[in-house]
Amino acid sequence: MFGIEFVPDEPVYKIGYMAKLAEDSGFSNVWITDHYNNRDVWTTLAALSMMTNKISLGTGVTNPYTRNAAIIASSIASINELSGGRAILGIGPGDKATFDKMGIDWDKPLTRVRESVLAIRAFLAREQVSQAGFKGAQMAFSAGRIPIYIGAQGPKMLELAGAIADGVLINASHPEDFKFAVPVIRQGAEKAGRKPESVQISAYASFSADKDPAKAVAASKIVVAFIVAGSPENVLERHGIGMDQARTISDAIARYDFKAAMEGVTTRMTEAFSVSGAPADCRARVDELLGTGVTQIVVGSPIGPNKENAIKLIGKQVIAK
Ligand code: F42
């Protein structure tokens, strides 16, 4: 199964147009990112509910810090109603860098995600919620069953997702990352008495496809630069990337010197942190990812040097294969 990620950094109607194109090209899910400085994720999903017909619509991902869990439940239930049952809730601990700018304290993210997911599920089942600080709160309308996916990277968050979520969204593009993550998720499920295969595992990958593989790789470089700069040491080590190389890139990004940041991106880095190339190259990587236990490939930024062409190309030559 294929999903696609859109960052709402363009007008909502443009995102709606591309989501419809994705639906017509064979994608099953669309995931909209949530950062305060882009278009609002809920407004975008409401527009997409009206502009598409069958594609599932998810937050990819929202968080319990910028919004209260009861409000998240009400919002996703409204999207589910508006879209005829197509909503999926993606929720994660959120992005520390944006929280710092917003003056939000990233207090106990693991605990916060666990408590929020359980509370949201109870709200969606129209139970009276008296946990996680709520005092007998209850939804006034019913919205049906909505799958909840957790955005996770760290081992504890992955294990938690295995224990309580319907699915996991993992920001990674290389099979080695999934050889690490999949057993951790499965262990979390087993410990919680669940069937490991009941948890959907999504590779939320940086993807770039073009007929010209060099153009595809070039388009992925800026995204890969940000991923390298934000990756923990153990992940860089897993891919044979030195901390000094990563520091050169993060220093360039801190100076807003994106040209220098991209120049620091090596072939090893684009291979580790993106699925990029001609459609046949991308399909080969997709097959490797599916072989690790991944059940959904999410085609994430940049998608390709030309987004619309890339969506059509991926539909015809990656998904249809
Ligand atoms: N973040 C956004 O803000 N917006 C997005 O649109 C977005 C999309 C997205 C899509 C896929 C995806 O995988 C991630 C995405 N993210 C997005 C990022 C996401 O919100 C997280 O930042 C990212 O997944 C990293 O989280 P993590 O899984 O690594 O979890 C962090 C919190 C972590 O450190 N986890 C540790 C671990 O091992 O999993 C555990 C930390 C821990 O145990 N904390 C304790 C606790 O109770 O929380 C407290 C420890 C103490 O001493 O206080």
Distance (angstroms) between ligand 1 centre and the Cα of 156 equals 9
Q: Is residue 234 part of a domain?
A: no
What is the per-residue DSSP string for 29-52?
EEEE---TTSS-HHHHHHHHHHH-
From 156, 174, 207, 233, the mutation candidate for ligand 1 (largest count of ligand atoms within 8 A of CB) is 156
| pLDDT bracket for residue 240 (50, 70, 90) | very high
Domain assignment present for residue 236? The answer is: no
Q: Do the domain assignments include residue 301? A: yes
Tell whether the model's pLDDT for residue 204 goes beyond 80.
Answer: yes
- Classify burial at 262, counting beta carbons within 10 Å of its beta carbon; exposed 0-12, middle 13-18, buried 19 or more: middle
pLDDT, tens only, 218-233: 999 999 999 999 898 9
In a domain, 239, yes or no: no
Query: Does the beta carbon of 60 lie inside 6 Å of ligand 1?
Result: yes
Buried b (16+ CB within 10 A) or exposed e, 263-295: ebbeeebbbbbbbbbbbebbbebbeebbebbbe
Section 134-149 average pLDDT: 94
Q: Is 70 part of any domain?
A: yes
Res. 255 pLDDT band, cuts 50 70 90: very high
Determine, yes or no, domain membership for 63: yes
Q: Is the pLDDT of residue 101 over 80?
A: yes
Question: Region 112-134: what's the mean pLDDT?
Answer: 96
**316 pLDDT above the threshold of 90:** yes
* pLDDT bucket at 277, cuts 50 / 70 / 90: very high
Q: What distance in angstroms lies between residue 159's CA and the mean position of ligand 1's atoms?
A: 12
pLDDT of residue 207 exceeding 90, the answer is yes
Amino acid, single-letter form, for residue 18: M
Distance 90 CA to ligand 1 centre (A): 13
This prediction's pTM: 0.96
Per-residue pLDDT at 219: 97
Best residue for ligand 1 mutational test, from 157, 158, 297, 298 (most atoms within 8 Å of Cβ): 157
Residue 243 resides in a domain: no
- Nearest residue (CA) to ligand 1, atom 42: 110
pLDDT band at 63 (very low <50, low <70, confident <90, very high): very high
- Please work out whether the CB of residue 3 comes within 6 Å of at least one atom of ligand 1: no
User: Is the distance from CB of 275 to CB of 286 less than 8 angstroms?
Assistant: yes
- pLDDT tens-place string over residues 5-32: 999 999 999 999 999 999 999 999 999 9
Which residues, other chains included, contact 37 with Cβ-Cβ below 8 Å and sequence gap of 6+?
98
pLDDT tens digits for range 152-181: 999 999 999 999 999 999 999 999 999 999
Residue 120's domain is classified under what CATH number?
Answer: 3.20.20.30
Domain that holds residue 139: 2-213+275-319
* β-bridge pairing 29-32 and 56-59: parallel
Average pLDDT, the chain: 97
Helix (H, G, I), strand (E, B) or coil at 62: strand
Number of domains making up the chain: 1
pLDDT(321) > 80: no
